[in-house]
Amino acid sequence: MRTKIYLLIIPVLLFACNGNENKSDAYGNFEAKEIIISAETQGKIIEFKAEEGQKLEKDQIVATLDTIALSIQKEQLLAQKQAVASKISNINAQIAVQEEQKSILSTEKNRIEKLFKDNAATQQQFDDITGKYDILEKQIAVTKTQIASISKEIKVIDSQVKLIEEQKSRAIIKNPIDGVLLEKYLEENEIAVPGKALYKIAGMEEIELRVYISGSQLPNIQSGQKVKVYIDKDDETNQEYEGVVFWISDQAEFTPKIIQTKEERVNMVYAVKIRVKNDGKIKIGMPGEVMFN
């Protein structure tokens, strides 16, 4: 009779030790860090091939906006720059003529100055040649300032061209992180405007488990604590992961209905978030369990 009793007890113990039955300290669901990608420039969407549920890589081109208007503006600015730059050639030619005149006046001025010292030239002659020379020097200085002004104008045009090139680069929408496209807000041939959402993506390399704990559990949990996280591997066993507590709510709330039984829903609990490295098996919304000790 005793042998039969032992045979009955052994299977019960084995079943109790299988998986993670009745060991978990808290339960919850997995969440992912979601990012909403918005347009940074205006334009018609000419290509948007990514679909909801698709895995996207970092820096992958997801969409392209029409940049014809920007290209036309760039061409206009380059033509304007060429026209402005041509003024510099004219001014340099003008300065060359003035410098030649200055050289001739300088020779004449030196001759009159020698004659004046030898009393062979009058004060009037000396003052006239000196005045003409000084006036010409001032004219050359004024002409040279025009080059500086035109150079600044060219610099402004170059900045405008650079801005257009930047806007054109932003018309190519590159995905910022590795993740899964959750939702598209615009389609091809629709108009994107700055700040308007294009799509929502969730990073899946690291995923977060949000669980709820009681007030009695709270003193034993701290940020940075390593814990064991479980998901359903099959109908009878669980798969274990290592997790790290990175956020603990400082305010109590009622237990969410989707987590606990009807009797436990009235309890006040604290939300805790646990970061878990994802091997691809954990999905958004999947239930999970955690052991803190």
Give 3-state DSSP helix, strand, coil % of the chain, rounded to 5.
40, 30, 30
What confidence tens digit (pLDDT) does each residue in 17-51 have? 344 555 788 999 999 989 999 999 899 999 998 99
**Is the domain of 60 the same as that of 101?**
no
Structure confidence at residue 254 as a pLDDT band (50, 70, 90): confident
Instruction: Among 149, 170, 191, give the residue marking a domain's end.
Output: 170
**Is the domain of 61 the same as that of 185?**
yes
pLDDT, residue 70, reads 92
Structure confidence at residue 258 as a pLDDT band (50, 70, 90): low
Q: Which helix (H) or strand (E) holds 129?
A: helix 123-170
pLDDT, residue 21, reads 53
Buried b (16+ CB within 10 A) or exposed e, 142-167: ebeeeeeebeeebeebeebbeebeeb
- Residue 53 dihedral angles phi and psi, to the nearest 5°: 90, -10
Would you say residue 84 lies in a domain?
Answer: yes
Would you say residue 156 lies in a domain?
Answer: yes
Instruction: Among 170, 199, 221, give the residue marking a domain's end.
Output: 170
pLDDT, residue 9, reads 34
Q: Half-sphere exposure of residue 95, counting CA atoms within 13 Å on the CB side?
A: 15
Structure confidence at residue 95 as a pLDDT band (50, 70, 90): confident
Number of domains in the chain: 2
- We report the CATH number of the domain holding residue 38 as 2.40.30.170
What single string gives the DSSP state of each residue in 103-123? HHHHHHHHHHHHHHHTT-S-H
**Is the domain of 234 the same as that of 110?**
no
**Is the domain of 59 the same as that of 188?**
yes
Would you say residue 7 lies in a domain?
Answer: no
Q: Half-sphere exposure of residue 62, counting CA atoms within 13 Å on the CB side?
A: 29
* Mean pLDDT, residues 216-237 taken together: 89
Flag whether pLDDT at 7 surpasses 80.
no
pLDDT, residue 71, reads 93
**Is the domain of 186 the same as that of 60?**
yes
Where in the sequence is the domain holding 159, given as residue range(s)? Answer: 68-170
Euclidean distance between CA atoms 238 and 232, whole angstroms: 5
What confidence tens digit (pLDDT) does each residue in 144-168 have? 888 888 889 999 999 999 999 999 9
| 25-29, 223-227, 258-262: range with lowest mean pLDDT | 258-262
**Is the domain of 148 the same as that of 81?**
yes
Structure confidence at residue 214 as a pLDDT band (50, 70, 90): confident
Question: Taking the model in full, what pTM does it have?
Answer: 0.60
E strands present in the chain: 26-38, 43-48, 55-56, 61-65, 172-174, 179-184, 191-192, 197-213, 226-232, 238-248, 253-254, 268-277, 287-291
| 6-20, 70-84, 108-122, 254-268: range with lowest mean pLDDT | 6-20
Per-chain mean pLDDT for the chain: 85
pLDDT, residue 277, reads 94
Would you say residue 11 lies in a domain?
Answer: no
What confidence tens digit (pLDDT) does each residue in 197-208 have? 999 999 888 999
**Is the domain of 24 the same as that of 110?**
no
Instruction: Among 121, 148, 170, give the residue marking a domain's end.
Output: 170
Is the model more confident about 183 or about 1? Answer: 183
Any idea which residue has 């999970």 for tokens?
288
Euclidean distance between CA atoms 79 and 179, whole angstroms: 44
